[in-house]
Amino acid sequence: MKTTLLRFTGFILLLFISSVAFAQGHTKNVGDSYTYTVTADTGPGTNTYEWTIGGTENDQWEVTSGSLTSTSVTILWLKPGTYNVEFKQDQEHGGVTCSTIKSGDVIVSNNFDATIANGTSVCGGTTGSTNFTFSVSKSGGNPNWSFHYTTDGLGVGDEVADDISVVGVDSYSLVIPVLNVTDGTDKTFNVVLTLIKDSAGNVDTDNSNDETATVTLYGVPNTGGINW
C-alpha cells in the first residue's frame, strides 16, 4: 500500500511539473499560423494524443495541417483573444490509463490595418472621363478582406461608392473614372474608406487619416477658337 501510494504521488508530481513547463504568454497576431508540436513519450503501451484549443474552431481558429489527435497541429488564428492550448497524452497499460498534460496560453492580437495612397493628379481631357488609380493595401489580419469606399468633392450626382472584396492578396488597385470638364476648372476630391474588415470580422485597428486619399483633376485651358 505504501509503495502504491508513493508511485501515485510521484506521478502527480511529474504531471504538475510537465504542466508548468509549457511556454506561457505565447503571442501571435490575427492571420498568423503556427505549428504546435510535442515530443511524445514512446514507452510501452498504447498511446493516444489530443489537443484542446480554447474558443471555437472555424470561428476563432482553424486547423490548417496536422490534426488535433496527433503530436503536431498547425493553427491559423482568426480572432483576437487569449486561448488555452492543451496537449494530452494517454498511455494505456493493460487496462490502466496514465495521462500527462501540457498546457499554456496563446495571446492573439488584432493588428489588421488598411491604408489608401493618394492618386496622381493629372490633366483631364475635353471629352469622356479620366481614370484615377488608388493603391489600397493592408497589413495583418486574415488573407481575405473588404472595404467600402465613397468619393467626396465630385459634386451632386457625380459621387461614386462601392463595396470591394479582396481575396488572398494584401493590395488592391482601385480605379475611379471622373468626368472631364471643359470650362478649365480644377476638380479636387477625396476617396474615403469605411467598413474595413477581414474575413473573420476583425476591423481596422488604426482610424487615423490614412483611410482618406486626395487627388485633383486639372481642367484643360478653356481656350477660345481661332479668329480667322
Domains 21-109 and 113-218 share a fold: yes
pLDDT tens track for 11-51: 333 333 334 345 556 999 999 999 999 999 988 889 999 99
Kindly state the cell numbers that stand for 12: 502527480
Predicted structure pTM score: 0.77
The dotted CATH code for 21-109 is 2.60.40.10
Q: Is the pLDDT of residue 91 over 90?
A: yes
Instruction: Match domain 113-218 to its CATH number in 2.60.120.10, 2.60.40.2030, 3.40.50.970, 3.40.605.10.
Output: 2.60.40.2030
pLDDT tens track for 73-89: 999 999 999 999 999 99
How many Cβ atoms are within 10 Å of 171's Cβ, its own excluded? 12
Where exactly are the structural domains of the chain? 21-109, 113-218
Given its phi and psi angles, is residue 211 left (phi above 0), alpha (psi -120 to 50 degrees) or beta?
alpha
